[in-house]
Chains A and B, each alone.
Chain A
Amino acid sequence: MTAAAPEPKANMGKPVPRYDAVAKVTGRATYGSDMPLDNPAYAFLVTSAIAKGRINSFDLEDAKRVRGVIDIVTHENAPKLKESKLFSNGGYAGTTIQPLKSADIAHDGEIIAVVIAESYEAAREAANRVKVNYSAVTPSASFDSQGTTKAAAKGQNAQFKEDPKVGDFAKAFDEAEVQLTASYETPTQHHNPMELFSTSCAWMGDTLVIYEPSQYVYGLKNGVAEQLGIDADKVRVVNPYVGGGFGSRGSMTPRTAIIAGIAKRLNRPIKLVPTRDQGFTIATYRAETRHEIKLGASRDGKLVALRHEGAEVSSRADPYCVGGTKTTTRLYACPNVDSLVSIVRADRNTPGFMRSPPEVPYLFALESAMDELAVKLNMDPVELRRINDTTNEPIGGKPYTSRSLMACFDEAAKAFGWAQRSAAPKSMSDGDWLIGYGCAATCYPTQMAPAAARVRLQRDGRTRVEIAGHEIGTGAYTILAQTAAERLGVPLEKVAVFIGDSDLPPGPVAGGSNSTASTCSAVMMVCDQVRQRLFKALMPNESLADKAKETVGMGQTPSTEAARSDRPLDLEKAFDALGAGVVEEYGEWKPEGAPLDSFKAMHSGHARLVGGAAMKDKIAYAFGAEFVEVRVNRFTHEIRAPRLVGAFAAGRIMNPRTARSQLMGGLIWGMSSALLEATEIDERTARYVNDNFADYLVPVNADVPGVEVILLSEQDDHINPAGAKGLGELANVGTNAAICNAIYHATGQRIRKLPVRLENIEV
């Protein structure tokens, strides 16, 4: 075993190499804009240079003269599209701001024209030559701008149902022996996946094929059909590989239906590849947030009162919010809890999911405050977490299905060398560098969604697994192949996996870290259906259900001894008995507690995630603990994080190699979020300024010399048949606070606003 392929512990699958590794490193993996089209035309977007106002007129003369220009589409001649509601209100859209509908402009960088040409170069040149005459109105950029409105999230966002509270917070806080009140801020951030927000639309008669990086092919298929006013069966979305998503491709953006409409009108396939900076405004982002935390505790560190108030920015049009209080009010034992989430409306594009949407900003606040409380109590921050660890969440008293938080703290602390920390701030250094150690808890809800799969097994063991899941870089192909191979008892190399195509059985959105749990549970179920048919052929007189349970391990995770050792099925014999060469089964799986309309919603592209804090009689989260070493240069105040150590427990680990990779990426992202990533907004114009990779900083290798991931063994039989908790969004949650806590330790300075930059340090 190597660092990249950790030795599996109990309840972990094999660290097999990625199914798509060779295709990816040899460039054979085809992404959306790689798909060959027959005689395509090329689109280039013109986006708004103002954030609010109207377009008075276009001057297109110069642009139209560029050789190869076919058409320039503006609000004056755009295809008419139907509206789609916001995903959280039962629609498919990530924004209800529909460009090209009128002369009005609602945010910076809104699509205001689409140039279609014979080549990408001609389209781009002509777009540069489009002149626009605007009437600009002074926009409201963010929290502190004039003209914003603020209102409680509850009541305006259908997915934000409740501000959790319990007991009497005010009284308990007043009477608490130790009190802490602190405010925190997180910045605007953009996903910046490597693959740009491209789309290619090709009509074949009345059928539309869309090649586009999407984290939800069924959502996109149904959403575009709705906007075009055609039957969803006439739309197919294909994306065998997605070059990163991070939430940015979870809901439909306006670009797709626009391009599809133009392709229909021109009767020609159209390929759109927007630029990096256009990606900042034609898709979503993580909005800036503000928090006030109040903690009351006894002298011995027991929390007696907790209040979390959060505010988030959204667009004028849409009440998007992440509302992380559902997690922060439940993480620790505390009898008196209060919370409130508000939305501030500004002249911005609508924000959306970004890796661990609620947990990243809200846990930054809580886990920073916990560190501040530990300092007030003169207590080791790890011990403060131990004192307030709980088996039941405090709001409804529901038990956690499993919770390895303190085991993670202990493992990570040991690996990190936490015991060597000298507790006083500014007490550790190395030459020019002050050294700080910090830690924080991390967690993410365990979520599941209905999923369907088709499995086809041949006499020679060759297997085909079909499910409209998504390979966004996480390892979906790999673990689906592993799951089928293990369940059917066939060699891994005989399994072929087909995902990323809306003609396949519907899978869930690749969001909320539900994919592994949902798709693997569905594939396991359908594999069992295949085995049942073969058993029935072999043993027609046996009681099928009992026999299958006994010998196939149905209802058990494949890791159990029974499922592993007791596999008497002889494929050749079974196929002979069946008198067939192929067995193919289709099945639909839904998680416990899924609403009645789940399967209907699944087919119509509506994500119905269940789990986390929303379950009836239990609560399911994955946990981890993160430790970081930061170094602050006493002269330049530069901040570096040479060591990141995280320990994580997330139920069954399907593949330690891909799991480690995701968690490592999460730790790096978390560090990046704490120290580097912020989208700068020009307050006067409400425009994003640093909309490129030279100015929107993400880490390079030199920034992350030491990242260690520890996978803990954990078994949870109360979540889903696969026994898996999603971990794609687990690791980047705690890092923000861990970094700030370490900076406090290094410098004695508490920084409550992200990202932390050298000018924020006063040594």
Chain B
Amino acid sequence: MRPFSYQRATDPDMAVQALSAAAAASKPLTQASAQPLAGGTTLIDLMKLDVMRPTAIIDINPLAQGWSAIEPGSENLRLGALAKMSDVAEHGEILRNYPVIVNSLKLAASAQLRNMATLGGNVMQRTRCSYFRDVSYENCNKRNPGSGCAAMDGVNRMHAVLGISDQCIATYPGDFAQALIALDATVEVTGRSGTRSMPFAELHKAPGNSPEIETTLQPGELISAFLIPGRWPRSVYLKARDRQSYEFALSSAAVALDVQDGTIRDARVALGGVATVPWRAREAEAQLKGQKFDDGLAQRAADAAFADARGRQHNGFKIALGKRVVMRALQQAVMMEI
């Protein structure tokens, strides 16, 4: 770890000022000299590994007073970005109406991490690609733009099959983001010119030709809240992994359904563990909408979700696995007694 200064942000303006002042046009935001600290569960890790080398840490935890509320409303659920994962997962209203959120949080990380980690930090967590996290590998387009990708033909069992490019196949590792993207969440961002909102689906950027740019956030911008429209009591987060707890997804599915009289009025499907960014499977949703559910329909939806998937040496299994996970999540959602 390299030396850094530590500053506590007493109000959002101060944090935004400090962060935007440190951003350089020539560098991606993840390499800016000042970085925000919330739960610290990703940032501190990557600093120890010398992957991230900020010279200033802006601690935004003092903003929690304004930014950590959990507010279930009649039309929206509003979640402050500094709410702790564990608090949200235990909230009564969310337990009742948003099982997909609860389980995406509960199945993530360990209890200790969930007690520390915030929602905003969680959606911003960075890939677990071993080659990205080990600076002794020179070729990582995410760390050193233009240097190549060691994972492409390396040990890539954990890597993505969707949203990949020939520059990067690093998997987006989170769980909660799948619930957000499935539920059409909006993300509220605070920056130099005040607060703006955008669809959560527009927050992350697939690697394309610039894997070093991971989000559409502008210099100085901080996530302040998430808004989730509607209620989704018939929703599921299913996560397949090597270990029973505290382990990243090999494949996961966030599914939310609105079923009336046996017909699927609305369907939401998002995928985790298989894509470079939080992944909305709209092709699968299109298969489902307006249909009566049966296993054949689930299969068609799953096939549609992975129609564009491409495996490499060690991760090809994720395509078949991902389809089964989607099918099972759909079946579970349909079978839920609301």
Contact = CB atoms under 8 A, between A and B. Distances in A.
B241 A703 contact: no
B130 A702 contact: no
A676 interface: yes
Interface in B1-37: 1-3
Contact of B155 (A47, A432, A640, A690): A690
B245 A700 contact: yes
A128 B324 CA distance: 44
A757 B314 CA distance: 12
B1 A682 contact: no
Contact of B128 (A128, A277, A694, A700): A694
Contact of A697 (B130, B133, B243, B327): B243
B153 interface: yes
B243 A636 contact: no
Given A635-B328, A682-B155, A758-B250, A697 B321 contact: no
A699 interface: yes
Interface in A118-164: 121, 124-125, 128
A637 to B, nearest CB: 7
B242 A689 contact: no
A684 B131 CA distance: 13
Interface string B124-150: 000010110111110000000000001
Interface in A635-691: 635-638, 640, 675-676, 680-682, 684, 689-691
Contacts of A78: none
A670 to B, nearest CB: 16
Contacts of A684: 153-154
Contact of A689 (B154, B250, B327): B154
Contacts of A617: none
Nearest to B158: A695
Contacts of A47: 136
B283 interface: no
A445 B241 CA distance: 37
B247 interface: yes
Interface residues of A, number: 35
Interface string A110-122: 0000000000010
B142 to A, nearest CB: 16
Residues of B in contact with A, size category: 35 or more
B135 to A, nearest CB: 8
B266 interface: no
B232 to A, nearest CB: 22
A689 B248 CA distance: 17
Contacts of A432: 328
B327 A635 contact: yes
Interface in B105-122: 110
A561 interface: no
B297 interface: no
Interface in B173-219: none
Contacts of B321: 636-637, 758-759
A49 B138 CA distance: 9
Interface in B153-168: 153-155, 157-158
B63 interface: no
A590 B52 CA distance: 57
Q: Which 6 A-B pairs have the closest CB atoms?
A: A759-B317, A636-B240, A49-B136, A702-B244, A702-B245, A635-B328
8 contacts: A635-B325, A637-B240, A637-B321, A675-B242, A676-B243, A689-B131, A758-B242, A759-B321
Interface of A: 47, 49, 121, 124-125, 128, 277, 432, 633, 635-638, 640, 675-676, 680-682, 684, 689-692, 694-695, 697, 699-703, 757-759
Given A277-B134, A759-B321, 7 more contacts: A635-B328, A636-B321, A675-B242, A676-B243, A689-B155, A690-B130, A697-B242
